[in-house]
Amino acid sequence: MRLQALSIPLLLSLLSSSTAYTQISDDLLKTLIPNPSDTDFDLSPSNADSLLGPLLITRVPGTPGQRAAQEHFTRFATKHIPEWKLSWQNSSSPTPLSKGNPVPFHNIILRREPPWARKRGEGNVGLLTLAAHYDSKMIQGGDFIGATDSAAPCAVLMWVARELEKVLGRLWGDGEDGTGEGVQILLLDGEEAFVSWTDTDSLYGSRALAAAWENTTYPALSTFRNPLRQISLFVLLDLLGSPNPNVPSYFQTTHWAYQRMATLEGRLRGLGLLESKPMHPFLPDGAKMATEFTRAFIGDDHEPFMKRGAPVLHLIPSPFPEVWHRLEDDGAHLDMATVRDWARITLAFVLEWLDAGKLEKIQT
Ligand SMILES: [Zn+2]
């Protein structure tokens, strides 16, 4: 009896990760991918209703800008996605500029688990994990905003969470017997180096979070041993919002996930649901062959998680935007059609991952 109780969640989790998802039909894509409003990505920092505007300030750890960004996130979560559990993972560390004093780093975790997670208890449902860093780089001699780095990716994730929540009730119902994963959003602090990028002067927030999760153990009979193992896919958005992004497929192990997103980009463009007119697809590597992958990758917040075994989809353009780490990386230099299209593509990817294709059947 006890053994059976153990094997059911295990079996369900195996099923949910291996069953073929339903492709979202064209008609359903048209209804599920809305157009962002004018307010959603408004550039004015004083527009509290904009997801993006209030982030277009300097957000250096240990400064008032960091706290203003945090307040923007918590206010958003309370108002728009109260169903999501908000938690903090805090740490502190000296930096090369802090003269031995600790600088605070605060990661924010927004987690939405399906109703069947309640019955099964902690650590039994996988989590699609979407991440971006909200700190901005300290640059001497000017106010560096970091609009692509990574204010816009954070705003994209907020928009995705809000629009996704409008669908989850219908998709998940109240049933405790469903299958499939939940989703979490990581708003990471302290990605940037204070002086120059080294193993210790960079990734302050993500290093602390990955280590903390590795040391958090779920109950013995849980499907997943700890929150790190719970990550079904770690999708990292960074340096997004400049026109004509070229985002390669970096990892052969997650190329299948890249292909899913690239296919969705193509379908959304075909259906006229994207507004940018780039010179090439954002995700041009769908047909990349196994032999073409190298061991090269870009250092970023995925590293501490990848090192510990999490599968990673890194959405960062190569080459980097022209404005990278220059004072020009501000709201005025964002290409808003590109920002909104990243929001639409990411939402489509998440919906497909959560098997929203089956909504067709629920509705009829
Ligand atoms: Zn940066």
CB atoms within 10 A of CB 114: 22
Q: Which domains does the chain have, with CATH numbers?
A: 2-363 (3.40.630.10)
Token pair belonging to 345: 């593509």
**Average pLDDT, integer, range 29-44:** 97
Query: Secondary structure of 264-327 in the HEC alphabet?
Result: HHHHHHHCCCCCCCCCCCCCCCCCCCHHHCCCCCCCCCCHHHHCCCCCEEEECCCCCCCCCCCC
Percent of the chain beyond pLDDT 70? 93
- Residues in the 5 Å CB sphere of ion ligand 1: 137, 149
**Average pLDDT, integer, range 345-353:** 97
Whose tokens are 């938690």? That residue is: 87
> Is residue 111 a contact partner of residue 128, using CB atoms and an 8 Å limit?
no
* Residue 361's pLDDT band (cuts 50, 70, 90): confident
User: What per-residue confidence (pLDDT) applies to 362?
Assistant: 66
Token pair belonging to 329: 């990386």
Of the ranges 101-110, 155-164, 166-175, 188-197, which one carries the lowest mean pLDDT score? 166-175
- CA 58 vs. chain centroid, Å, equals 21
* Residue 9's pLDDT band (cuts 50, 70, 90): very low
Rounded to whole angstroms, the Cα distance separating 279 from 243 reads 9
Rounded to whole angstroms, the Cα distance separating 138 from 135 reads 9
Q: How far is the CA of 144 from the centre of ligand 1 (A)?
A: 10
**List 135, 163, 238, 335, catalytic entry:** 238
Q: How far is the CA of 136 from the centre of ligand 1 (A)?
A: 7
**Average pLDDT, integer, range 17-43:** 87
User: What per-residue confidence (pLDDT) applies to 17?
Assistant: 45
User: What per-residue confidence (pLDDT) applies to 120?
Assistant: 86
**Average pLDDT, integer, range 91-106:** 97
**Residue 238 known to be catalytic:** yes
> Is residue 136 a contact partner of residue 147, using CB atoms and an 8 Å limit?
no
**Of 157, 128, 33, nearest to 353 (Cα)?**
128
**Residue 176 known to be catalytic:** no
